[in-house]
Structure 1
Amino acid sequence: MPDKHHAACHCGAVQFDVTLTDGLNTARRCSCSFCRMRGAVAVSANLDGIRFTKGAENLTLYQFNTGTAKHYFCSTCGIYTHHQRRSNPNEFGVNVACLDGVSPFDFDEVIVNDGVNHPSDKGTAAPVCGTLRFVQHHVDD
C-alpha cells in the first residue's frame, strides 16, 4: 500500500503530494556540513514520487561540493522541501517537517548517516555515525 502524504513549505507557496518508498521508516539525518546546518530529518521517495500541486516555479536550487545532490527550497520562506540524493540519485529525500501531520519530534530516534565520509566517495554503503534522540520533557502546570 503506497504511503502518500500532502506536503508544503512554511508559507504554503510550494505544495506537493509525495509517495514515500517505505513510509517514515527511512527517516534519517546526515552529518555533512550542509545537513548539519540545515538540521532536517529526511525520508525517501522515488523521483516519480513527488507531484507538485502548487508553486514548483517558486523552488530555488542549491548545489555544492560535487554538485550531484540537488537541494530545493521555497524562495519565499526559505524552507528546505526536498533534495535529489547524492547517495542514491534515483530518490528524493523529503523534509518530514513539510509533511502534513508529521514533525521531526515524532521520532524517538533518528539515525545519522556519515555524510562527511560520503559513501559515493568510497564506493561503500553509508555508515551510521550516530543516533539523534528526542526525549520529551513535560512541563508541570
Structure 2
Amino acid sequence: MTTHLAACHCGAVKFRVRLTDGFNTRRRCTCSYCTMRGAVAVSAPLDGLEFIQGQHLLTLYQFNTKSAKHWFCSLCGIYTHHQRRSNPHQLGINLACLAGISPFDFPQTPVLDGINHPTDANSTPRIAGTLHYTKTPPRA
C-alpha cells in the first residue's frame, strides 16, 4: 500500500493515508451528495488514515440512511474523506487532498452509479459512465 501526505485547502487538517490500490480505485459517484461535491475519491482501509494535525477541526455530515460519514474541514470547507456506505470497512479519500496529485492528472475516471446504490439494490457497484479530461495546449 502506498502512503501519501494529504491536507485540506487551508492546511489546518493534515494527514497520512495508505491507499488500498494506489489510484486504481479512483472514482466519482452519481448520488445526490457526490454529484454536488464533485470530488474524485480513492480507497483506503479504515486503519490507513493517520492525522498529523487538525482532526478536531473536522466536521461530520451524514444524510439519508446516515450510514456513510462524510468529513470536511470546518475552516475551509474542503471534503477530506468519508467512511463508505457500500463498504464501511473502507474510506474514500479526496484525491485532490493528496500532496502533488490532482484529479486532472487522469484522462479518465470511472463514475459509479450512486443513485441506484448497491446497498439499496442488494447488488454489486455499477459503472454509470466515465469522466474524461483532455488538457488543452497552452496558449502561445
Q: Please classify the TM superposition score into its range, dividing by the shorter chain length.
A: over 0.9
TM norm structure 1:
0.98
Query: Which SS does the other structure have where 1:57 is aligned?
Result: helix
CA distance, structure 2, for counterparts of residue 107 and residue 65 of structure 1: 31
TM norm structure 2:
0.99
> What residue number does 2:26 align with?
27
Query: Which SS does the other structure have where 1:34 is aligned?
Result: helix
Query: Which SS does the other structure have where 2:18 is aligned?
Result: strand
1:80 positional shift: 0.2
Q: Structure 1 counterpart of 2:82, which letter? A: H
1:35 positional shift: 0.2
After the TM superposition, which segments of 4 or more aligned residues of structure 1 sit over 2 Å from their partners?
none
Query: Which SS does the other structure have where 1:19 is aligned?
Result: strand
1:138 positional shift: 1.0
Q: How does 1:82-101 map to 2 (within 5 A)?
A: 82-101=81-100
Q: How does 1:1-141 map to 2 (within 5 A)?
A: 2-141=1-140
CA distance, structure 1, for counterparts of residue 46 and residue 138 of structure 2: 42
CA distance, structure 2, for counterparts of residue 107 and residue 71 of structure 1: 24
Deviations 1:41-100 (A, max 9, x none): 000000000000100000000000000000000000000000000000000000000000
CA distance, structure 1, for counterparts of residue 33 and residue 26 of structure 2: 17
1:26 positional shift: 0.2
Q: Structure 2 counterpart of 1:37, which letter? A: M
RMSD across aligned C-alpha pairs, in angstroms? 0.5
Aligned length: 140
> Unaligned regions of 5+ residues in structure 2, if any?
none
Deviations 1:15-41 (A, max 9, x none): 000000000110000000100000000
Query: Which SS does the other structure have where 1:48 is aligned?
Result: helix
Q: Structure 2 counterpart of 1:6, which letter? A: L
